[in-house]
Amino acid sequence: MQRIRTIDQAYDEIKKQDPETAISRYLVRQMINQGMVPSIKSGSKKLVDVGVLERKIKELTGGSA
């Protein structure tokens, strides 16, 4: 099941899983704005699938997807 969240909510989920993460809210926003992670525009907010975001972070850091 997809976990569609706002950028801030997606970041909060990542932070909850790893409170010591070095990933910043800014980096998540940049990844979405640069098209590295697909998003859906809803009014003034962008929505993202948290699972896709997590996979992209793993891919970029050399982790297995």
**How many C-beta atoms lie closer than 10 Å to residue 10's C-beta?**
27
Q: What percent of the chain has pLDDT over 90?
A: 89
Kindly give the confidence (pLDDT) of every residue in the chain, 65 residues in length, as a single tens digit, with 9 standing for 90 and above.
899 999 999 999 999 999 999 999 999 999 999 999 999 999 999 999 999 999 999 999 887 54
Q: Which pLDDT score, from 0 to 100, does residue 61 have?
A: 87
**At which residue do the structure tokens 């926003």 appear?**
29
Q: Which pLDDT score, from 0 to 100, does residue 9 have?
A: 97
CB neighbour list of residue 49: distance below 8 Å, 6 or more residues apart? 2, 3, 4, 38
Domain parsing of the chain, residue ranges? 4-60
**pTM (predicted TM-score):** 0.86
CA 54 to chain CA centroid, Å, is 6
Identify the burial level of 53 via C-beta atoms within 10 angstroms of its C-beta, where 0-12 means exposed, 13-18 middle and 19 or more buried.
buried
